[in-house]
Each structure stands twice: as structure tokens, then as C-alpha cells.
Structure 1
Amino acid sequence: MRSVAVVLGTRPEAIKFAPVIRALQDDPRFEPVVISTGQHRQMLDETLDAFGLTADVDLKVMAPKQTLSQVTYRSLRGLEDYFAASPADAVLVHGDTATTLTGALAGFHLRIPVVHVEAGLRSGRLGSPFPEEGNRRLVAQVAALHLAPTPGNLANLLREGIAADTVTVTGNTVIDALRWASGRAESYGDPALADLDSDPRRVVLASAHRREAWPHLPEIGRALARIADEPGVRVVVPLHRNPVVREALLPHIGNHPGITVTDPLPYLSFCKLMGRADIIVSDSSGSQEEGPALGKPTLVLGNVTERSEAIVAGTACLVGTATEGIVAHTLELLRDRVAYDRMANAANPYGDGQATERTVAALAHFFGMGPAPEPFVPDDAVDELSVELARTADFART
């Protein structure tokens, strides 16, 4: 039996790791140990609980107003102390957070093989998203096994000199999590949304929180207010807890009769809300994957994305952060049924619900305990174009 340390600290990591943790717990070949840095506190705990999971180790690094460097330092120190006392056979990290980077560095420093889940995403611009693009590039340099969601992600890694025999294309485990969560929520998680099923209006689900969006949040807020002015439209905004985000957005959306503002919703309730929504407008990385999987046209707030596949497939569109562009794209979808259906019916490029199975199989193969899994292959047209985009590393909106 192999001991596998699963390091997580944020809500997205918990969502995307949850199916993997459950599968490892059920596999007699592995003994998973879930280590939480606590980088996100309340949202992380709520999400793990939704999947019936708890952390075996909690480093509790969360502190008020701490900087990225302080989060990184405290996480790295805690993880190295833990691994020095309780060595593992592998360290699994996910994506591109401070927790991801420190988990990879702690494993590397103690010569524990690092397995990078959701490897190979690239925007091609070091500062966008920040600090995620830098984090994932750094992790790629120390990982022993790279689990790439798409062929385009594989192409990114190969272009950077990563050995092909260390990469497996798995699909994205967020699709597995979404399928598991579908239909499990009894409510939308907030009393303000209790009437949503009986509300005949079309629903635009909106969110913005990334650091590079902060200077543009007033423009985004004005755009959401104008979208909510459209007859027959209701905008729902689960608002991020960060005070910077709240102080910038609330003056524009807080008192609009067509906008419902809530606190961040529990994961199962948020999945239910995505299913109810007609359009998603967001800078969230998860929404760029979940929207296409649910057949929801997804308008990405930004000029660049590390998730080019949905843009290529046509189920997502980069709309920038300027008020006019956001409003124009959203109103087109609300007013033009042909344009809406074109996006809603585009292919989902991110997975077939078997990413967890491939992830566990790839890990077993890494340890010589099973055959290599067959790679995930998306729709041919999406596959070819996403690989070509990855080759040029130019995903910017022109």
C-alpha cells in the first residue's frame, strides 16, 4: 500500500480533489492522507463536508490580512515539518494556488515524488492570472508526474521540455465532481433565492474576484447593473468575501431591483444555481469548465485565459472587463436565440466523467502497480485547435 499525501487549501482544490480522494480511499493499493493548509477557511471546510470528507491534517495557515508571501511561508513551513515527521510515497497537488506551490516544493525538498493534477494550463502571460500562472509553471519544474486535463495542456508541457512519458491526459476532475453533485442540493443555499424556480425571468449568474480584475471591478459592476435593466432578466451575484471585491462592486449592484446579491454559496447549492442559470458571466476558473459542461454560454471576464478549449469549442467567449463589451456580449445572447443556442450546444472539451479513474490509474502506473490509462480524447475539432493554440500560446482576445 502506497501512502499518498493530498495537499489542498482552497475551495476549488477541494472540489476537484474530492472525487480523487474518495477513489483513493476505496482503492486498497493506496492510503490517502488529506492535508489542508486552510488557505481558504470556511469555504474549504464547507466544501469538504459536502463531499463527506474531512482533512486528516489541518495546518491552519489562514490569518487576517496576510500577504501571499506570508501564506506561502506558513504553508511551506507546516508542510515540510509534517513530511519530515510523516514521509509519504507521493504528494498530490492541484492546479496553481499558493498551497499547490508549497506542497510541490515541500515534496521536492524532501525527495518525495510530486504529482501535479490539472497540469499544463497556460495563459502565456506570467502576470495573468496572478499569481496562478507563475505558480503552475514553477510546479511543472519539480513534478514527477503531470496529469493534464486536455491535449492542449499536454502540448504546453511538451513545449516547455517536460518528458512525454511523465504526462497523462486525464480530462478534468471538476466534471466528475459536477456529475456527482448534480441534483443533490435541496435549495439554492440562500433565502434570497428561494423564489428562483418560480421566477420566470432569465437568470444571469455573475461573479468576479481575481486580482487582475480588481482595477476593473467598478466597470464590471456597472455592466451588471445595465444587464439587469434588461426586461425579463435577473442577475444573481454570489459575492466573494474579499473586502476589496465587495467595496468595489456593492455600490453598483447592491441596491438594484434586478440584482440578487448573496454571500458565497455552498458547493451543492452553487451547482444547482448554475443549472438554473441561462448565462454565466465570470472570471472564475471553475466556471469556465463547469459552464461548458452544463451547456451554459459562459462569458469570461478578461482578455486572456489559460482555458482556451472552451473558447475554441465556442461555448465560452472572452469579453474583457470594460462595461460596453460585457453588456454587448450578454445582451446579444439574451436577445438573439440563434447566438445563444450556438454557444449552449457547443461541445464540452473538458471531460467525460472518467478523469478520476484515469488519475488513479496513472498514479498506480507510476508506482508499477497497473497499466497506463488510455488518455482522454475530446472532440476531434476541439482537440486539434486547442493543441494549435497551445503551440502558439496566444489565447488573448483581439
Structure 2
Amino acid sequence: MAPVVIQLSRHSPEIVSRVAVTAQHREMLDQVMMHFGLNKDHDLDIMKENQSLGDTTVRVLERLTPVLKQERPDIILVHGDTTTTAASALAAYYEKIPCGHVEAGLRTGDKYAPFPEEINRRIAGLISDIHFAPTARAKDNLLREGISEESVFVTGNTAIDALFMTVREDYVFRNEALKALRFGTWAGNDCPGSGCCDNQGCGRRANDEVRSIVVEVHRRENFGRGMENICQALAGIARQRRHDVRFLVSVHKNPNAREPVIRHLDGIDNVILFDPLAYPDYVNLINRAYFVVSDSGGIQEEAPAIGVPVVLCRAKTERPEAIEAGTVTLVGTDKALIMDTINDLLDNIERYRQMATAGSPFGDGRAAERIAGALLHWFGLSAERPEELETFW
């Protein structure tokens, strides 16, 4: 949401925004706010240890409702598919305040995959009065659900805006473990992609001596057997390929994700474990990765935008555009398939090149600009409907 807040500030006094944060991840929130130069007007501070989804919903309703009564905004904007997103939209509905949904229309069609995100975004979609869809596919999903076409704007995803604002080739990591690593470039005949030696894309993220694979796994639906399979697959490859691959693994705070990662991967000499990174470190690490192994939602958009393939450890995805574009390959949590896919990407330069150069279907870095234009149009401050992102998915 940070790019939207920044863009809206450029339209003052026509639009005046107030920022309310849930502090779902306090340390990460503070880092992001500082990075983008944002200030919070209301800190709901809803999170407590081992909080259930129901408790999260109740605390958002209890703490956001007084803020809405105080501010009486003309609209509330919510982002994505977290439980706080759904609860915030519900709080707005109870106060009869219009709601806008950023990243609207993503669907898998299975209410338990991903859980609870699929239902969270459906709730936000049902309540919202204006919908900012990242792609034409997402817009079509909304239209099939009976949402009026006039209320849907195809904008691209603001995550791409934030990414482009943050990634730098000369970036210096804050994390000490990453700062000590050497990241190089491909050169000459070893280059896996045409033009990349001219800084035009594929392959420049590989290390001179060893290729870096970034790993982030934390989905609720993978807790248990799924996490075990993923971690066993990664450990197997790490031990097989000690000399040409290193795994850089973000260890989630949730014990259900953290415990199997540490149990299977800690102590392997070409595996580096670290706590979740500050946003600038995170996206700049992705920019230096050979490819990513993850079950995350956002990584399916971020990595392809900078030419980094993704091996997706999920049964289903709400971003089928990435699969169709060829930037993401879906492997589920089958141990053998995960290992085969990773090894193939490491050994099959042609497949790697195809994925790394496929391009991103999720935006051009101007989503926040389009969202601001849509809001001006919705408020009647601009007569023309803003130009939408042209996508082929």
C-alpha cells in the first residue's frame, strides 16, 4: 500500500489520506514505514502471540471501528487477502463507509487453498465499492461474481511499484550474513540469456562461483506433511550439490514453519538460515537470486518482474497468469517433483532462460498512479476514466 499512500499525497488537497496500521508484523512494519518515508496516523496494534484468526478478526473490529467513527472517511482502502483486510472491510461496511480493494479479483476457486486468504479476498470483494484489479484475468473473476464493470479498474499490482522503487544493482545489504556474501554476474559464453550482459535481464543474478537459491516457505496449508516434504527436498539437493549451489532460507516466525526448516536444514554447509528480512534487503536479495523456491503469494509477482524464475510449492495459485506466462512453475509439495524441478532449472539452461525472460504480467510500476486516477474519477474530481493497464492475461 505504500506506493498508493505516496501517490495520493501528490493529489492534496483534493485527496487527504490517513494511514492506519494493524502492526501484524511490528518489526517489518516499522522498517517498511521508514524505508518509504511514511507516518502512521493510527496504530491498531492488534497482534499478540499465538493469536487465532478469530481473535485477529475481533481485535481489528474492536480497534478500527473507533478510528472510523472518529475520521468518518469518504472511503477506506484495504489491500490484499489477509485476515486484517477482510476484517477492515467488514468494519467499514458496519459503519456504512465505502471500501476500495487494492489487489482485487485474485481467485483459486477453492476456499481452503490458500487458507484463509481465498475467503478473505472474497469477503473484501463482496463488500468493496471500487476494485483495483492487477490484471484483466482478475477483473474477469470479479465480473463473473456480479461486480459491476464500472467499479473495476485494471491497474497492475502496487507490489511491482514498491519493487521498482527499492531494487538497486549497487544495493548494500543490512543483514550481516548477506552482507558477507559475494554475488557476481554471468559473462561471455556462459551467459544463459541473450542481452543480459548488457544489463537487460536474464542471468545477471548468478554468482561467480555458486548460484544462490532463495527459499521462503510459510503457508498455513503446507503446515505438517507439506513443510516436511519441502524441507527434505531442499536438504537433499543441498547435500548433493555442495559446490555449485547455496540455499538462502528465510525462516518464518511461526513455529509451524520455523521448526521443520531448522530441523532439516540447519547445519548444512551450503545452507544459510536467517530471520525474515527488512523489505529492502528482501527484494534486493530476490534480485540477486538465480531462482526462488517459495509458497508465497507476492513472490509470484515480484520475482518475475525482475527476471527471476519461481518454483512454487503450492497445490493451487490465485495468480495463474504467472504460470501461463512461463515465469512460475507449480510443483505442489511432492518431494520428488520439487527435487526434479530444482535440478532441471539448475542443469537445463534453455528452460531457465525461457522462465527468466518470460516477463511479468502483473504491472509496469504505475499501479499506484492508476489507483489515484481511479479514485479521482470515482469522487467526481476527474471527468475521464483513467487509462487501464493493458495485459494479455
Alignment of 1:1-398 (within 5 A): 17-28=1-12, 29-183=14-168, 186-193=171-178, 194-197=180-183, 200-215=209-224, 216-228=226-238, 229-230=240-241, 231-370=243-382, 371-378=384-391, 383=392, 386=393
- Can you list the C-alpha shifts for 1:298-338, whole angstroms capped at 9, x where unaligned? 11111200011110000101011121111111110100100
Matches of 2:69 and 2:31 in 1, distance apart?
29
Percent sequence identity over matched residues?
A: 42
Alpha-carbon spacing, 1:21–1:135, altered in 2? closer, same or farther (3 Å): same
CA contact (8 A) 1:185 1:272 kept: no
Give structure 1 regions of 4+ aligned residues with deviation exceeding 6 angstroms. Answer: none
CA contact (8 A) 1:79 1:102 kept: no
Task: Tell me which moved more, 21-30 or 190-199.
Answer: 190-199
The Cα of 1:184 is off from its aligned counterpart by 8.1
- Can you list the C-alpha shifts for 1:72-112, whole angstroms capped at 9, x where unaligned? 10111111111112210100001111111111111111111
State the partner residue of 2:192. none
CA contact (8 A) 1:116 1:140 kept: yes
Equivalent position SS for 2:51: coil
The Cα of 1:42 is off from its aligned counterpart by 1.4
What is the identity, as a one-letter code, of the residue corresponding to 1:152? R
CA contact (8 A) 1:120 1:148 kept: yes
* Alpha-carbon RMSD: 1.3
TM-score calculated relative to the size of structure 2: 0.90
Equivalent position SS for 1:116: strand
Gaps of 5+ in 2: 185-206
The Cα of 1:368 is off from its aligned counterpart by 0.5
Matches of 2:296 and 2:40 in 1, distance apart?
25
Matches of 1:189 and 1:283 in 2, distance apart?
25
Matches of 1:207 and 1:37 in 2, distance apart?
23
Matches of 2:362 and 2:37 in 1, distance apart?
25
- Can you list the C-alpha shifts for 1:178-219, whole angstroms capped at 9, x where unaligned? 110011874333222212326620011111001001121111
Matches of 2:44 and 2:360 in 1, distance apart?
37
Matches of 2:295 and 2:104 in 1, distance apart?
20
Alpha-carbon spacing, 1:186–1:295, altered in 2? closer, same or farther (3 Å): closer
TM-score calculated relative to the size of structure 1: 0.89
CA contact (8 A) 1:221 1:252 kept: yes
Matches of 1:376 and 1:32 in 2, distance apart?
24
Task: Tell me which moved more, 184-193 or 258-267.
Answer: 184-193
Task: Tell me which moved more, 197-206 or 180-189.
Answer: 180-189
What is the identity, as a one-letter code, of the residue corresponding to 2:213? V
